[in-house]
Amino acid sequence: MDVPRSAEVVVVGAGAIGASAALQLALDRREVLLLDRGAVGHGASAGTACLITPSHAERLANRGALVEGIRFLPDPSGPLSIRPSLRLAPWLARFTIASLRQRAAEDGTSVLRSACLESVALHRTWAERYETGLVCDGVLNVWTTAAGLEHRNRWAAEHRAAGIDVQLLDAAETREAEPLLRDAAGGSLYPGDAHVDSLGYVEAVAAAAAAHGARVVTGVDVLRLVASATGVRLDTTAGPIAAQQVVIAAGAWSSSLARDVGVTLPIAFAKGYHVEYSTVPAPRRPVFLGETRVVATPLAGRIRLAGTLEFGGHPDAVDHRRVDAIERAAATLLDGYAGATPSAVWRGPRPVTADGMPMVGRAPGAERVILAAGHAMLGITMAPITATWVSRLAAGESLAPELAALAPGRFHRIPLFG
């Protein structure tokens, strides 16, 4: 496909957020160009746990996560790994300070849960219209220890207060809900949660955007943005492109483009892993193994085991201890997984901001640039609702006051962390 030389709105990044934004913009009759340096959906969106899950929505920077992260650090195969470096140090300092602001953490979590509930409703609508493959069978959380059950109970109380439906299960009920389980002290079933093959979702949404008039161009890398009062010039590997507005939705790579327009976007690469099997029995629905933070998700012809976060190190490197930990967690708790040979192993970076909240809004000082990045592990869940926010911004509207916690300018207000 020839690369257009101009467009009303150019969306940079054809992952879950960018493709969804392109669809909503096209539905709202914008002239849209969706660009990606690779293939549609083949970045971080291809490797998710595939959950559509308000129940797992929370601001990552909070005291509990900070304490838990410190507890896991000595274990090289634990759910969290941090490889300190001078480059990562400023982000870690920001994240630590943000984690100690408990009121802000609670307010941020409330915003995310509310947004995710709205987004699930949009997912259902889009699934009917665009055949995204959404499966609405809920998500089962499983706990094996007394401490895990205490966490489950606290979590369930928070979720119910936020309007999220949850059913607490005893050991026998949990095993009845998932017969593959070898051991369970108890569980929590979230019937309103869902799942979708994340790559399939992005491909379906991008195809729908194209069907509604968006132009989708892959294999083109955006090298620089030059913003002015009248528009934005994108310098790309295929030559310059002129746009009236630009949406930066490039995931973990959004920071460099944001710097071009004077925006500080402290995003860390949080590498996640998944292992897939094609010869093991499938659970009835996604199963979250609470103590190990591993998710087993049934997909067409395969089971995906996803988990762990790794900060620091090279984005393409593979820490086999983390892969082994994912396999071991499933082999310990699910019948039929011990000794099975994986059919695929994946690793890729999740974009995590220094306060654990997504960044959605106009770039301070560059009103023709919209940022939509930093969704961490909620990119698939929040893609449709984020798309509606982006389209409103592109139309010159403001977002609701309660979404101020997502504003790109928040990292500019106070030195170090904002």
CA gyration radius for the chain? 21
Give the pLDDT band (50/70/90) at residue 2: confident
Summarize the confidence of residues 382-405 as an average pLDDT: 97
Structure tokens at 149: 């059950």
Structure tokens at 348: 């890729």
What confidence score (pLDDT) does residue 83 get? 75
Specify the higher pLDDT residue, 108 or 310.
Answer: 108
pTM of the model: 0.95
Cβ–Cβ < 8 Å for 110, 59: no
Could you report the per-residue pLDDT of 181-195, keeping only the tens digit for each? 999 999 999 999 999
Could you report the per-residue pLDDT of 237-251, keeping only the tens digit for each? 999 999 999 999 999
C-alpha–C-alpha distance, residues 5 and 145, integer Å: 59
Cβ–Cβ < 8 Å for 83, 92: no
Residue 168 is assigned to a structural domain of this protein: no
What confidence score (pLDDT) does residue 74 get? 67
Q: How many domains does the chain have?
A: 1
Cβ–Cβ < 8 Å for 216, 159: no
Structure tokens at 179: 């017969």
Residue 74 is assigned to a structural domain of this protein: yes
Return the bridge partners of 33, or none: 10, 215
Residue 265 is assigned to a structural domain of this protein: yes
Residue 227 is assigned to a structural domain of this protein: yes
Is the pLDDT reported for residue 414 higher than 70? no
Residue 183 is assigned to a structural domain of this protein: no
Helix axes 198-211, 379-394, angle to 10 degrees: 20
Rounded to the nearest 5°, which phi and psi values hold at 139?
Answer: -135, 135
CATH number, domain of 284, equals: 3.50.50.60
Residue 162 is assigned to a structural domain of this protein: no
CA 90 from centre of chain: 22
Summarize the confidence of residues 325-341 as an average pLDDT: 95
C-alpha–C-alpha distance, residues 371 and 386, integer Å: 10
Summarize the confidence of residues 252-267 as an average pLDDT: 91
Give the pLDDT band (50/70/90) at residue 418: very low
Summarize the confidence of residues 104-126 as an average pLDDT: 96
Which structural domain, as residue segments, surrounds residue 237? 6-138+192-413
Give the pLDDT band (50/70/90) at residue 48: very high
Is the pLDDT reported for residue 54 higher than 90? yes
C-alpha–C-alpha distance, residues 206 and 200, integer Å: 10
Residue 311 is assigned to a structural domain of this protein: yes
Residue 180 is assigned to a structural domain of this protein: no
Instruction: Kindly report the average pLDDT of the chain as a whole number.
Output: 93
Cβ–Cβ < 8 Å for 352, 376: yes
Nearest to 322 by CA among 308, 312, 333: 308
Is the pLDDT reported for residue 417 higher than 60? no
Is the pLDDT reported for residue 413 higher than 80? no
